[in-house]
């Protein structure tokens, strides 16, 4: 954030002349100098708001993300603002999770949580006065369609907390592990995706002196956690340590569900009104070191230990390496971290037997052989086709793929477009006397797609010999699966949409582009979403194939109200 002395000033961990402490936020300033428009502009500079409790600090500009990093702030005082942002903003106004981690992990989605943790309780501040209420609300928020945090298959989730935020995270993990609670399937997937934790100055056994003790007003009961040897905090720490042990055993990895703790190294200043300034260590090594795999001293007092000034900071580099190691180990397949499917031809044959394939396409061209489809499908297993989702999701994806096969090739009867109006080569590269009209089960069209498809399936001759798609059935099916599994320019892949690996951005949600079969219509041929008869035909075919594969079609199967990708 660029500081403007005429409007705002960033002050952390000190008291103003009236004795009120300003922490992790902006000082209160004269109302006439800060308009609502400026506040909105400032927030928009830092993040895209999913809702008033969850902000996107960074996400890939296109395509799916492959990890999520969630930041949770500490307690704050009545004179502070936007702790979700200022907690992670350093002295030069840089939001380091976005600027530093976004460059290190360009395919990451980085979020910051905002919750009511004011140390003073009144009509507008400190209303969420228990960790239980905070985490209950947060879990509901995570599972909302616009948020969808921790629900993407094979996408690790990492948590970063400061002070009280560390215990919000711990309580959230315990809440997700509860039995006989709602959203059981979502909670299970969420826990399986959790990779590890970074905690800045967690006061595990309380603090010896309360930095907030002299704040005017009724104290928020959340500050009870600060008391030495708090019974609630002790139970929480023990339960979280036990959960970590169980999850490590379940994930069969000593790297996952691990904790890196970074503790403050400088004294924090406080001053009572009308008295001398007092300095002391707020969170000591003894209380911070509990239950962690790696402990480090950071740079700064309690409020600045989590504000990395540059990527050259050794503790930032340590945290970056820690996240990288967790990410690497999260992606290693294990018996418990991924569904136990056999990534071989037999797996596809079990879902779609040859006899059923022939019944579904009774008038198909002999060119479209069942064996050719299976051979092509197996080559896309490394891209996740048919192996990293539940059996129902796998059936829905195959049903969706077959529905588009049926629609594009008239029941797998046509190998290529009849009487094409042009060679479909608006600009190079093209080969003389060659036409790049629709061919194969999905009618791949256009010289650009032929070139990219050839590169994708390892056959560079497709641009010079496009006829291969109507001469070799394996290449024909491979061309269709390449398009299905590959993001198209600014569009996600159909595979990621049907398997839950893609999460819509706020722009997508506003355009009604939500995961489901309907979005695959938008991706393959957006015109069909306008021409209702064509879209309806695809939907009916999809429902038919789902019925034959004995699986529910799922949600968002139509594209009626979707806007096209620009």
pLDDT, tens digit, 9 for 90 and up, residues 79-131: 677 899 999 999 999 999 999 999 999 889 999 999 988 888 876 676 667 88
What's the chain's average pLDDT?
83
Residue 429 DSSP symbol = S
Q: For 419, left (φ over 0), alpha (ψ -120 to 50), or beta?
A: left
The residue count of the chain comes to: 566
CA distance 428 to 425: 7
Share of the chain above pLDDT 90, in %: 48
**Could you list the active site residues?**
408
**Helices then strands, each counted (H, E), the chain:** 20, 16
Q: Is the alpha carbon torsion for 255, 256, 259, 260 positive or negative? A: positive
CA distance 396 to 516: 9
CA distance 447 to 357: 31
Q: Which residues pair with 439 in a beta bridge?
A: 416, 444
Helix (H, G, I), strand (E, B) or coil at 41: helix
CA distances from residue 260 to 87, 197, 297, 348, 431 in whole angstroms, order as listed: 18, 6, 11, 42, 57
* Residues near 305 by beta carbon (within 8 Å), at least 6 away in sequence: 162, 200, 201, 262, 263, 264, 265, 298, 299
CB atoms within 10 A of CB 93: 12
Amino acid 1: pLDDT: 24
Residue 425 DSSP symbol = -
Over its length of 566 residues, how does the chain's per-residue pLDDT go in tens digits? 222 322 222 323 433 433 334 444 433 333 333 333 333 334 445 568 899 899 999 998 766 788 899 999 999 887 677 899 999 999 999 999 999 999 999 889 999 999 988 888 876 676 667 888 899 899 999 999 889 999 887 789 999 999 999 999 999 999 998 865 677 888 888 998 999 999 999 999 888 877 777 777 788 788 888 888 788 888 899 999 999 998 988 877 778 899 999 999 999 876 444 445 667 888 999 899 989 999 999 999 999 999 999 999 999 999 999 988 888 777 644 333 333 334 456 778 889 999 999 999 999 999 999 999 998 998 888 777 877 678 889 999 999 999 999 999 999 999 998 878 888 887 777 888 889 999 999 999 998 899 899 888 888 788 889 999 999 999 999 999 999 999 877 899 999 999 988 888 889 999 999 999 999 999 998 888 887 788 999 999 999 999 999 999 999 999 988 998 87
- pTM here is 0.56
CA distance 367 to 414: 9
How, if at all, do strands 108-113 and 194-200 pair? unpaired
Domains and CATH numbers, the chain: 50-271+278-330 (3.40.50.1820), 345-549 (1.10.530.10)
Residue 189 DSSP symbol = H
Amino acid 112: pLDDT: 96
């Amino acid at each position: 954030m660029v500081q403007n002395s005429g409007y705002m000033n960033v002050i952390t961990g000190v008291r103003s002349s009236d004795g009120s402490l300003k922490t992790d936020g902006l000082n209160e300033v004269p109302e006439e100098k800060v308009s609502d428009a400026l506040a909105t502009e400032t927030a928009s500079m830092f993040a895209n708001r999913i809702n008033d409790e969850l902000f996107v600090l960074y996400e890939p500009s296109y395509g799916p993300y492959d990890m999520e990093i969630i930041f949770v702030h500490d307690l704050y005082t009545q004179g502070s603002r936007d702790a979700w942002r200022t907690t992670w903003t350093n002295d030069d106004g840089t939001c380091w999770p976005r600027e530093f981690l976004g460059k290190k992990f360009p395919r990451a989605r980085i979020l910051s949580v905002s919750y009511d943790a004011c140390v003073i309780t009144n009509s507008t501040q400190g209303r969420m006065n228990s960790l239980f209420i905070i985490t209950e609300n947060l879990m509901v928020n995570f599972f909302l369609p616009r948020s969808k945090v921790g629900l993407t298959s094979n996408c690790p989730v990492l948590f970063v907390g400061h002070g009280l935020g560390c215990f919000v995270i711990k309580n959230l993990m315990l809440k997700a592990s509860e039995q006989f609670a709602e959203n059981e399937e979502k909670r299970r997937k969420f826990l399986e995706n959790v990779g590890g934790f970074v905690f800045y100055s967690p006061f595990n056994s309380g603090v010896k002196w309360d930095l907030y003790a002299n704040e005017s007003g009724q104290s928020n009961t959340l500050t009870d956690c600060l008391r030495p040897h708090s019974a609630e905090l002790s139970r929480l720490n023990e339960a979280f340590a036990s959960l970590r042990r169980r999850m490590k055993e379940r994930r069969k990895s000593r790297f996952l569900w691990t904790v890196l703790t970074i503790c403050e190294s400088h004294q924090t200043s406080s001053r009572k009104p009308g008295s001398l300034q007092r300095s002391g260590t707020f969170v000591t090594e003894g209380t911070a070191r509990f239950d962690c795999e790696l402990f480090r001293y950071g740079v700064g007092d309690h409020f600045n230990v989590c504000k990395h000034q540059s990527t050259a900071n050794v503790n930032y580099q340590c945290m970056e390496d820690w996240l990288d190691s967790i990410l690497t180990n999260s992606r290693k397949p294990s018996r418990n971290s991924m569904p136990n499917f056999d990534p071989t031809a037999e797996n596809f044959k079990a879902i779609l037997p040859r006899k059923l394939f022939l019944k579904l396409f009774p008038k198909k061209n002999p060119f479209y052989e069942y064996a050719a489809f299976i051979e092509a499908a197996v080559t896309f297993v490394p891209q996740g086709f048919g192996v990293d989702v539940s059996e129902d999701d796998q059936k829905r994806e195959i049903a969706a793929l077959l529905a588009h096969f049926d629609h594009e090739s008239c029941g797998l009867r046509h190998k290529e477009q009849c009487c094409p109006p042009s060679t479909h080569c608006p600009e190079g590269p093209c080969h003389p006397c060659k036409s790049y009209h629709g061919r194969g089960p999905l009618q791949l069209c256009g010289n650009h797609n032929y070139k990219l498809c050839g590169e994708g399936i390892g056959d560079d001759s497709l641009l010079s010999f496009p006829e291969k798609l109507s001469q070799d059935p394996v290449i024909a099916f491979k061309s269709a699966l390449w398009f299905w599994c590959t993001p198209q320019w600014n569009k996600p892949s159909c595979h990621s949409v049907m398997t839950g690996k893609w999460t819509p951005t706020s722009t997508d949600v506003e355009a009604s582009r939500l995961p489901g079969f309907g979005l695959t219509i938008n991706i393959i041929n957006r015109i069909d979403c306008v021409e209702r008869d064509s879209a309806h035909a695809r939907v009916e075919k999809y429902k038919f194939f789902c019925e034959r594969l004995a699986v529910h079609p799922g949600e968002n199967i139509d594209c009626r109200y979707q806007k096209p990708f620009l």
